[in-house]
Amino acid sequence: MAGLHREKMRSEEAAAGLNSSQRLHLLSSSQHADKLLAEVEAILTASKSKSAFRKYKNSLSPAQAKVVEDYIARIRDQMLRVLESQGVAPPEASFESVHSIRVTLAFIRIAFQECTPDRMRGYGEFPDSKVREVNGLVDEMVAAVEKLDSYLAQGLGQDLEARLARLAQAGQDVDLLKNLERIINEHGLVEFRPTLSMILDRLESRSFEIALFGRVSSGKSSLLNHIVQQDILPVGVTPITAVPTRLIYGAAPRLSVWYADRTPERTEIARLPELVSEHQNPGNYKHVARIVVELPSDRLRDGVVLVDTPGLGSLATAGAAETLAYLPGCDLGVVLVDAGSTLTEDDIGTIRTLYEAGIPASVLLSKSDLLATDDRERSSRYISEQIRAQLGLSISIHPVSIQPTHSVFLDDWLKDVLLPLYDRHQQLAQESLLRKIGSLREAVTTALKIRLDRAPDDGEEVPDQGAIEVEEIESALRKAVGRIAEIRQLSFETTHAIRGGADLALGEAANVLFEAWTGGKTAAQASIVSAELARITAQEASAVSTALKDLASELTRTLQAASKALGYQTATSEDDLNSLIKEMPKLDLGTLEIDIRPTVLGKLSRRLALGQIRKSLRRQIGQQVEQAFSNLGSMLDSWERRTLGELQLRFETHADQYRAHISRMSGSGSLPVADQHATLRDLSSLGGLQAEETAQMAPAP
C-alpha cells in the first residue's frame, strides 16, 4: 500500500510541474544570476565610479555600453517570465534600506577606528611625530561617516526641504535658503548641509528663555502663575531636586514629560503636582528628567519661554548636574529674594553662578506688598550694595508682587527690563543669522565657481601649482582634529581623578588646618577646609579649562589660515569658537560641620597630630566630601563633553567645506555642457556672477 501511495504522489507532482525543492533551486540560481548581472553593471559603470580604488577601466563606447545595458534588462525580464511560468514567485524585499545602510556604516566606522596609533602599534613601532595626525585622520573619517549616519537617523521629518516649507508656512522669508538648499542638493554639495541645518535650527527656535531661581517659599511659583495669568504650578510645596519645568506657548494646555528610564508621555496638566512635588515624588523616584507645559498665554507668545527651576543654592545635590547642564540654554536668570526674609549666601551664590555661565541676572524683591514704601526702598538698596560688595556687580533691584493692589510693580518690570532685553536679543540673533546666511552663500558660490574651472582632461599633465600648500592645509586640519582627541583624553583623566580624589584632598586639607593652628588660627575650621578643597579641585580642573581655551584658539587659527589660503572673503572669528567655552562648574560642599579640638592635638607630634586630624575629617565630613567630589566629577564630565562636542561640530562645519574645496581643486575632467549651464544659472541666481562674467564662462555651443 505504501508503495502505491508514493507512486501516486510522484505522479501528481509530475502532472503539477516542478516539486518544491526544484522550484527553490531554480529561484536560488536566478538570484545568483541576478547578483552576477549586478556585477556586470558595476564593471560597466567603472569609469563613472566615485570609488577611491577603481578596479576597472572602461573599454566600451557609450553606444556599446547602451547595448550591454539593454541586454541586461532583457535577461532580467526573461528570467522573471521563466520563474512565473514555473509557478515561482520572487520573494518580497525583506530589509529596510536605511537600516542596512546604517549597519554598514557602523562597520565602516569600526574599520577606521582600528587605524588609531594605539591599535597600529601591533604592526610595529609607531612614530611619535605621526600620532596626532593619524588620530586626526581617524576622527576626520569617523566624523564624516557619522554625519551620513546622523542624516539617515533623523528621518524624513528632518529633511531640509520639509523644514523650509514649514518655515515658509509660518511666515518666514526663506527664498534664499530654499535656493541654497536646491543648489546644495542638485550639485552634491553635502558639506554645506550641516551649516544650512544649523541656520534652520536658529530660525525654528527663536525662543527667549527666562529661568526663575529662588529659595522655597520665595514666591517663585506664585509669580510664574501670575505672569502667565493661570494657576498652573503648584504653590506651597517643596520642589524635587532639579527638574526645570518649561512653560511655552501652545494652542491648548498640555503637559509633556520626559523620563530617564522610559519613553516620554503627554498627559493632563492636572498631573503636574505629582511630578514636581516632594510629597508626591520624594527624591524624584519617578525619574523625571524634563517637563514642558504648553499654555495659550499671550505672555508666552513670540518665543518667550519661562523656566521654573529649584535654583542653584545647593549644588551638592543629586540634580545639580542637570541644572548646570541646562544653564547654557538660558537667556536671562531671574533671582527672587523674599521681602519677608533677607539676602542669603544661597542668593549670592545663584547670582554668581549665573554670571559665571555668561547669563545676565535680574533680581526681584518678591512679596514687596509686605513692606512699606520706605522699607521697600531700604531693602532694595541693601541688596544692591551687598551684591556690589561681594560680586562686584551693579544690579538694579525690582520690587514685584502678585497682589492686585501692587500689580504695577510686575508690569513695570516687564515693560522696563524684560521687553527691551528681549527686543535686543532678537535683534542680535537676527544680525548673527544674516551673517551666517551670507557666509553660506559665499561658500556655495565659491564651490560652484571651482566646478566651472576648466580642468585638464585625463592624460594631460596636471600642473603642480599650490600642491604643497594644499597638502599643508589638509595636514593642519587633520592635526587640529587630532588635538581634539588629545583634549578628550585629558578631560577623561581629570574628571576620573576628581571623582576619586576626596581622600587625598582631605589629607591636604588636614595639613593646611594644622598649619593654621600652629599659626594661632583656631577658628573657622570649616572655612579653611572648604577653601583648601575648592583650591585643589580648581587646580585640577584648570588644566582642562586652559587646554580647551588653547584648543579653541588653535582651531580658530587653523580655520583662518585655510580660509585665507583658499581665497574665502569671510573667515571664522575669534568669538565663534571661544564663545562656546563657558565657566566651568565649581565644587559645592554645602555646609560643613567640623569640630576638632586643636588644644589636644597640639600636644602630639606633627605626624600624630596630622593623622588624628585626617581621621576626624574623614569621620565628620568624609562622606559629604566624597559625594561633592563625585558630583563635581560628573558635572565636569558633562560640561567637558558638551563643550568639546560643540567645538568639534563647529570646527568640522567649516573644515568640511575647505576639504571639499580642496578636493574640487584637485579634480580633473571638465563638466558636461548641460552641467556647466546649470552651474552658471545657479551662480547667477546667487549673485555670484556679473553679466560679462556669465558670457565669458558660458560653454561653447
Q: Work out the angle at residue 658's Cα, subtended by the Cα atoms of residues 652 and 663, and round it to the nearest 5 degrees.
A: 120
**Roughly how many angstroms between the first and final C-alpha of the chain, as a whole number?**
86
Per-residue confidence band for 312, with pLDDT thresholds at 50, 70 and 90 = very low
Whether the pLDDT of residue 10 is over 80: the answer is: no
pLDDT at 334: 87
Whether the pLDDT of residue 63 is over 80: the answer is: no
**Structure confidence by residue, pLDDT tens digits, 608-629:** 888 888 888 898 888 989 988 9
pLDDT at 50: 57
Say which CATH topology domain 208-408 has: Rossmann fold (3.40.50)
Give one word for 155, left, alpha or beta, with left for phi > 0 and alpha for psi -120 to 50. Answer: left
Nearest Cα neighbor of 584 from 494, 463, 471, 470 is 494
**Distance of alpha carbon 331 from alpha carbon 422, whole angstroms:** 9
The structural domains of the chain, with segments of one domain joined by +, span: 23-44+58-91, 93-158, 208-408, 467-670
**Structure confidence by residue, pLDDT tens digits, 180-194:** 888 888 888 877 887
Tell me what the mean pLDDT of segment 96-110 comes to. Answer: 84
pLDDT at 111: 87
Whether the pLDDT of residue 282 is over 60: the answer is: yes
**Distance of alpha carbon 303 from alpha carbon 299, whole angstroms:** 9
Whether the pLDDT of residue 129 is over 60: the answer is: yes
pLDDT at 456: 39
Tell me what the mean pLDDT of segment 548-558 comes to. Answer: 90
**Distance of alpha carbon 662 from alpha carbon 471, whole angstroms:** 9
Whether the pLDDT of residue 426 is over 80: the answer is: no
Tell me what the mean pLDDT of segment 387-397 comes to. Answer: 86
Q: Running DSSP on this structure, what letter comes out for residue 51? A: -
**Structure confidence by residue, pLDDT tens digits, 361-378:** 888 888 888 888 888 888
Tell me what the mean pLDDT of segment 460-464 comes to. Answer: 41
pLDDT at 671: 63
Strand ranges, E, within 195-353: 208-214, 245-249, 254-259, 265-267, 288-295, 304-308, 332-338
DSSP code string of 304-347: EEEEE---SS--SSTTHHHHHHHGGG-SEEEEEEETTS---HHH
Whether the pLDDT of residue 16 is over 80: the answer is: no
**Distance of alpha carbon 397 from alpha carbon 374, whole angstroms:** 14
Tell me what the mean pLDDT of segment 544-567 comes to. Answer: 88
Backbone φ, ψ for residue 649 (5° rounding): -60, -45
- Identify the burial level of 614 via C-beta atoms within 10 angstroms of its C-beta, where 0-12 means exposed, 13-18 middle and 19 or more buried: buried
| Residue 458 vs residue 101, higher pLDDT | 101
pLDDT at 80: 83
pLDDT at 412: 86
Q: Please tell me which of 150-164, 306-320, 467-481 the model is most confident about, judged by mean pLDDT.
A: 467-481
Q: Running DSSP on this structure, what letter comes out for residue 188? A: T
Whether the pLDDT of residue 418 is over 60: the answer is: yes
Q: Running DSSP on this structure, what letter comes out for residue 282? A: G
Tell me what the mean pLDDT of segment 653-666 comes to. Answer: 78
Q: Running DSSP on this structure, what letter comes out for residue 398? A: E
Whether the pLDDT of residue 46 is over 70: the answer is: no
Q: Running DSSP on this structure, what letter comes out for residue 231? A: -
Q: Please tell me which of 64-78, 456-470, 537-551, 644-658 the model is most confident about, judged by mean pLDDT.
A: 537-551
Neighbouring C-beta atoms of residue 672, cutoff 10 Å: 10
Whether the pLDDT of residue 387 is over 80: the answer is: yes
Looking at residue 612, its amino acid is: Q
**Distance of alpha carbon 450 from alpha carbon 655, whole angstroms:** 17
Nearest Cα neighbor of 561 from 645, 488, 480 is 480
| Residue 47 vs residue 394, higher pLDDT | 394
Tell me what the mean pLDDT of segment 229-247 comes to. Answer: 65
pLDDT at 462: 39
Distances (CA, A) of 77 to 69, 89, 399, 505, 561: 12, 14, 82, 78, 57
Tell me what the mean pLDDT of segment 349-360 comes to. Answer: 74
Nearest Cα neighbor of 211 from 336, 124, 88, 100 is 336
Whether the pLDDT of residue 231 is over 80: the answer is: no
Per-residue confidence band for 464, with pLDDT thresholds at 50, 70 and 90 = very low
pLDDT at 463: 41
Per-residue confidence band for 40, with pLDDT thresholds at 50, 70 and 90 = confident
Average pLDDT, the chain: 77
Q: Helix (H, G, I), strand (E, B), or coil: what is residue 366?
A: strand
**Distance of alpha carbon 557 from alpha carbon 135, whole angstroms:** 20
Residue 256: partners with Cβ closer than 8 Å, 6 or more residues away: 264, 265, 266, 291, 292, 293, 294
pLDDT at 124: 85
Q: Helix (H, G, I), strand (E, B), or coil: what is residue 259?
A: strand
Residue linked to cell 507512486: 7
| Residue 328 vs residue 210, higher pLDDT | 210
Neighbouring C-beta atoms of residue 434, cutoff 10 Å: 10
Tell me what the mean pLDDT of segment 94-121 comes to. Answer: 84
Q: Helix (H, G, I), strand (E, B), or coil: what is residue 277?
A: strand
**Distance of alpha carbon 57 from alpha carbon 59, whole angstroms:** 6
Whether the pLDDT of residue 81 is over 50: the answer is: yes
**Distance of alpha carbon 58 from alpha carbon 65, whole angstroms:** 9
pLDDT at 516: 82
Residue 515: partners with Cβ closer than 8 Å, 6 or more residues away: none
pLDDT at 53: 67
**Distance of alpha carbon 701 from alpha carbon 229, whole angstroms:** 70
pLDDT at 236: 55
**Distance of alpha carbon 356 from alpha carbon 581, whole angstroms:** 11
pLDDT at 15: 46
Whether the pLDDT of residue 320 is over 80: the answer is: no
Residue 286: partners with Cβ closer than 8 Å, 6 or more residues away: 259, 275
Share of the chain above pLDDT 70, in %: 80
Backbone φ, ψ for residue 566 (5° rounding): -95, 0
Pick from 42-56, 351-365, 532-546: least confident: 42-56
pLDDT at 614: 87
Per-residue confidence band for 347, with pLDDT thresholds at 50, 70 and 90 = confident
Tell me what the mean pLDDT of segment 421-434 comes to. Answer: 77
Nearest Cα neighbor of 24 from 88, 68, 118, 94 is 88
Element (H, E) at 399: strand 397-399
Per-residue confidence band for 465, with pLDDT thresholds at 50, 70 and 90 = very low
Q: Please tell me which of 140-154, 359-373, 427-441 the model is most confident about, judged by mean pLDDT.
A: 359-373
